[in-house]
Amino acid sequence: MKLTTALLGAAAAMAFAPAAFAERGADGNVNVLYWQAPSILNPYLSSGTKDVETASLILEGLAGFDEKGVVFPRLAESVPTVDNGGITEDLTQITWKLKPGLLWSDGTPVTSADAKFTYDYCTHPEGGCAQAARYEGIASIDTPDDLTIVITFNAPKPNPYTAFVGGTSPVLQAAQFANCLGAAASTCTDQNFKPVGTGPFVVTDFKVNDVVTLAANPNYRDPAKPAFATMTVKGGGDAGAAARAVLETGEFDYAWNTQINPEQQAQMSAAGKGVLLNGFGTLVERIEMNMTNPSPDLPEGERSTTKHPHPFLSDINVRKALSMAIDRQILVDIGYGAAGRATCNLVPAPDMFASPNTDCITQDMEGAKALLESSGWVDSDGDGIREKDGMPLKLVYQTSTNPVRQDFQAVIKDWWTELGADVELKNIDASVFFGGDAGSPDTFQKFYSDVEMYANNFDGTDPEPYLAQYKCDKIPGPDNQWQGENINRFCDPAYDALVDELSKTADMGERSAIAIKLNEMLTKDSYVVVPLVDRGRLSAASNTLGGAVLNTWDTELWNVQDWFRVK
Amino acid sequence: MTDTNLGVAAPETLRAAVWAQFRKHRGAVFGLVVLGLLILFSILGPLVWAPEKLTVVEALKSKNLGPGMSHPMGTDQLGRDQMQRMMAAGKVSLAVGFVAMIIAVFLGTLIGVLAGYFKRLDGPLMRLTDMFLALPLIPLLLVMVMLFRDKLSRQLGPEMGAFLLIVFAIGVTSWMHAARIVRGEVLALKEREYVLASRSIGATPRRVILRHILPNVVSPVMVAATLGVAEAIITESVLSFLGLGFPPDFPTWGRLLYEGLEYMQMYPERVIFPGLAISLTVLSVNYIGDGLRDALDPRIRGR
């Protein structure tokens, strides 16, 4: 509650800011801490968040995402939609118009040729562009005049805001990068370390993996912004030290990704030098139920495959009871504090795609017990463990090694034991668990356990590719080297049909209705996926820094031009 | 009255002599007492101290308490009694330390003696030792865990399976130093006159080794063994930290230490108690080893 108020305060302050501080460079220096230090300032050559976000101070796209996941124009005059004619009715073409009079930081004009060049740069066959996915499905880019960019897609594209939208696909200056195409890309040190951009700041000095020094861009399109004359982005340390530097010692104005435990959150915030900002994206910590039998008695190659359905988790009543026995709010309090909230949804955001389902939030231990009783799971031999047809309710529960996850395991084991299940815990080194090595029995794809817990999210604002992961043909198995994304081995023809329908639907209202239905088919209708906590991003901002609003849909420094010093 | 007592005490038995010498070493006696207390704490403690099992919600009400009457060592972030966990953890950590040490010392002495005594075996065995020294421990353990964890835990249950696996893994990867030390010692001993004399009257190698060589290498072996206990306890902590060791709900001192690390600033007792237990064990075992070495060495004893 306190944080929300703080956020509102910051937002309100921002609204009045331009009037009060309408002068570029009036507020001196601002110190930003990225504890993972930036190593390159060209997001096309690195997928690291730290690099992409630092680069977004200098380089901009045609549009960006705001803190609600809504597209807003940056270099473009407005956001093209079907209604304003910017997108054709058949969804195969989008037309962007640049703002007139835009200048690069070196004083030359920004033209549509720069955007076309950026596309060529990233899609060069020898280039190995880290953000190639943003330009997927594009047939051609045409530039009828200096301010117009027409993107034509191979097929109807219901979500065309990928190319040139957001911090991961900014526009590069064609003149600067002309000789850096293809294999030469990574050899262009000057360009990659000091790109010429349109953003609010320009690089003055860059010490790789240590510190970036920046100054206000003299040619920034809004003459009153940014309020800060210089900026220092420092790297090094860890999340705890970063939070301390802002909240306790006040050495820094802003620290990125300060994931610390609730105890530390409370303790550090008490120092009163700053606040923790939280923002919720799509990262959900969940328990996945295995629909296939992971028994080690089965021969290798048949374990956890669709050949053998799970002996008891294929019974929906068991899955539902296991979900009902969990008190999600307690998990949030233990593990995440302000950086988490209880959820029943696999797709918790953006709002238009999130199901209003909150059935699971309240723990119902008695209900869960009754459900098991009524479906034949009773403790017949008095050992505290329920059986049905001679089969005990015995689970192996695995996750990666991580202090919060081990706390969750301990607490959930207590609840499930109370419910009458025998739970064996297992934790696996994260590099092995998420490593995807087809030879290891301990990967989350192989799923050699009954239930497992981890977190996953989707990129951008459109959940379609994410929900499509649960189609029958995405089930991991020995025939596809265990590389499928349908970890639960969930298979429902009705679900597959609905996903196919989603890929053909353009209307946003219908898309959201279908996405919500798909999400519910996986969660409250079947309990195949048991979402626990919606995990937010947590960053720290000093009380003397105004205007910082955490954004989980784009880079955290998305509105740095609006930052100012509170006096 | 004739007295058959000539004023000479009956000859001291070896055991009594060793004990007498051992007692003179103050550090060793201190170590023995401390280690004994730690073992008692771990084994008998749970009989005396057994707070009732609370539900999650009840336990969370008393989370993060400092040391006090109801919880002598405080509670952790989930409201679990630290003392109870320390006792359970001690049992595992001490058992791992000692059993792994016994395996390592047995293997090390065996290979060292064979390599030192039989010239033909020297080359191959020492190259084997070099090979083991060059093996990276963590990847090796990863492979072992991957291959055997499921099988062992099915046969013996998750705890016992993990215990055997860890003890064995630590044992077979830490005997090399002992082997090298023993081999060096044996090479020197076997040229000594009494060994030559024994061989010249036709004693079998087995007898020479058991009767003359082994008693003389006891002191370096003891030093290696004591260091081994400490190392095994620490290696186990590393393994638990990486998730290769015991199941997560199965505390060990090393795991408690790592769990407490995050809360060190606010609740220092969370790391002090397990840290103290590990340090005390290591220290006291080292002192005991020191005392034993003096006591078992006939040249020092009786001086």
- The closest alpha carbon to B77, from A296, A553, A456, A262, belongs to A262
Residue with tokens 């966990």: B85
* Chain A residues closer than 8 Å to B243 by CB: 400-401, 427-429
* Chain A residues closer than 8 Å to B241 by CB: 401
- Decide if B60 and A333 are in contact by the 8 Å CB cutoff: yes
- Decide if B242 and A401 are in contact by the 8 Å CB cutoff: yes
Mind telling me how many Å the CA of B175 is from chain A's nearest CA? 26
Alpha-carbon distance of B16 to A153, in angstroms, equals 93
Domain map of chain B by residue range? 23-41+84-297
Q: Looking at residue A560, what is its pLDDT?
A: 92
Alpha-carbon distance of A183 to A186, in angstroms, equals 7
* Three-class DSSP labels, A103-165: ECCCCCECCHHHHHHHHHHHHCCCCCCCCHHHHCCEEEEECCCCCEEEEEECCCCCCCCCCCE
| B262: closest chain A residue by CA | A261
Residue with tokens 């309710």: A393
* Chain B residues closer than 8 Å to A264 by CB: 262, 265-266
- In this structure, are residues A135 and A123 in contact, taking their beta carbons and an 8 Å threshold? yes
Strand ranges for A164-273 from DSSP E: 201-207, 211-216, 230-235, 254-255
Write out chain A's pLDDT in tens, 567 residues: 444 545 444 444 444 444 444 688 888 999 999 988 888 899 888 777 888 899 999 999 999 998 888 889 999 999 998 888 889 888 889 999 999 999 999 999 999 999 999 999 988 888 778 888 788 889 999 999 999 999 999 888 888 888 899 888 899 999 999 988 888 888 888 889 999 999 999 999 999 889 999 999 999 999 888 999 999 999 888 888 899 999 999 899 999 888 888 888 888 888 889 999 888 888 899 999 999 999 888 888 888 888 899 999 989 999 999 999 999 999 998 888 888 999 999 998 888 888 888 888 999 999 999 999 998 899 888 888 999 888 899 999 999 887 888 889 989 998 999 999 999 888 887 777 887 777 788 888 889 999 999 988 887 788 888 888 898 888 888 887 887 788 999 999 999 999 888 887 777 788 889 999 999 999 989 999 999 999 988 899 999 998 999 888 888 899 999 999 988
- Decide if A425 and B154 are in contact by the 8 Å CB cutoff: no
* Chain B residues closer than 8 Å to A407 by CB: 77-78
Q: Is A334 on the interface with B (CB under 8 A)?
A: yes
| B249: closest chain A residue by CA | A410
- Decide if B266 and A267 are in contact by the 8 Å CB cutoff: yes
For A344, the token pair is 């029943």
- Decide if A427 and B243 are in contact by the 8 Å CB cutoff: yes
Which A residues in the span 248-287 are in contact with B, Cβ-Cβ below 8 Å? 261, 263-264, 267
Q: Is A418 on the interface with B (CB under 8 A)?
A: yes
Complex ipTM value: 0.73
- The closest alpha carbon to A531, from A354, A386, A372, belongs to A354
Mind telling me how many Å the CA of B196 is from chain A's nearest CA? 55
- Decide if A441 and B146 are in contact by the 8 Å CB cutoff: yes
The closest CB to that of B243, out of A401, A418, A440, belongs to: A401
pLDDT tens digits along B99-147: 988 999 899 999 999 998 888 888 999 999 999 888 887 778 777 877 7
* Chain B residues closer than 8 Å to A426 by CB: 158, 247-248
- The closest alpha carbon to A133, from A474, A531, A458, A536, belongs to A458
Which residues of chain B are under the pLDDT cut of 70? 1-11, 241-243, 298, 301-303
Q: Which of B55, B65, B147, B249 to mutate: most A Cβ within 10 Å?
A: B249
Q: Which residues on adjacent β-strands are paired with residue A423?
A: A395
Q: Looking at residue A111, what is its pLDDT?
A: 93
Determine the straight-line distance between the first and last CA of chain A, rounded to whole angstroms.
25
Alpha-carbon distance of A329 to A319, in angstroms, equals 19
Alpha-carbon distance of A330 to B57, in angstroms, equals 8
> What does each C-alpha distance from A165 to A137, A178, A457, A552, B60 come to in angstroms?
15, 22, 19, 14, 45
Chain B contacts to A (CB-CB under 8 A)? 55-57, 60, 64, 77-78, 80, 142, 146, 150-151, 154, 158, 241-244, 247-249, 259, 262-263, 265-266
Whether the bond between B46 and the residue before it is cis, its omega within 30 degrees of 0, is no
| A260: closest chain B residue by CA | B262
- Decide if A425 and B249 are in contact by the 8 Å CB cutoff: yes
Q: Is A466 on the interface with B (CB under 8 A)?
A: no
Q: Looking at residue B10, what is its pLDDT?
A: 64
Whether the bond between B136 and the residue before it is cis, its omega within 30 degrees of 0, is no
- In this structure, are residues A551 and A559 in contact, taking their beta carbons and an 8 Å threshold? yes
Q: Looking at residue B4, what is its pLDDT?
A: 58
Q: pTM for this one?
A: 0.78
The closest CB to that of A415, out of B56, B241, B242, belongs to: B56
* Three-class DSSP labels, A409-478: HHHHHHHHHHHCCEEEEEEECHHHHCCCCCCCCCCCCCCCCCEEEEEECCCCCCCHHHHHHHCHHHCCCH
- In this structure, are residues A152 and A139 in contact, taking their beta carbons and an 8 Å threshold? yes
For B72, the token pair is 């002598």
The closest CB to that of A330, out of B60, B146, B243, belongs to: B60
Q: Looking at residue B6, what is its pLDDT?
A: 58
**Phi, psi of A172, rounded to the nearest 5 degrees:** -95, 155
- In this structure, are residues B301 and B18 in contact, taking their beta carbons and an 8 Å threshold? yes
Question: What count of other Cβ atoms lies within 10 Å of the Cβ of residue A230?
Answer: 17
- In this structure, are residues B208 and B199 in contact, taking their beta carbons and an 8 Å threshold? yes
Q: Which of A425, A434, A446 to mutate: most B Cβ within 10 Å?
A: A425
Q: Is A413 on the interface with B (CB under 8 A)?
A: yes
Find the farthest-apart pair of alpha carbons in chain A and give their distance in angstroms, rounded. 82
Contact pairs from chain A to chain B, CB under 8 Å: 70
Q: Which helix (H) or strand (E) holds B257?
A: helix B253-261
Q: Which of B55, B62, B78, B258 to mutate: most A Cβ within 10 Å?
A: B78
- In this structure, are residues A246 and A274 in contact, taking their beta carbons and an 8 Å threshold? yes
Q: Which CATH number fits domain B23-41+84-297: 2.60.120.580, 3.90.180.10, 1.10.3210.10, 1.10.3720.10?
A: 1.10.3720.10
**Phi, psi of A424, rounded to the nearest 5 degrees:** -110, 125
Q: Is A469 on the interface with B (CB under 8 A)?
A: no
Mind telling me how many Å the CA of B149 is from chain A's nearest CA? 11
| B57: closest chain A residue by CA | A330
- Decide if A333 and B154 are in contact by the 8 Å CB cutoff: no
> What does each C-alpha distance from A334 to A76, A275, A409, B76, B242 come to in angstroms?
44, 20, 12, 11, 22
- Decide if B77 and A334 are in contact by the 8 Å CB cutoff: yes
For A101, the token pair is 């009079």
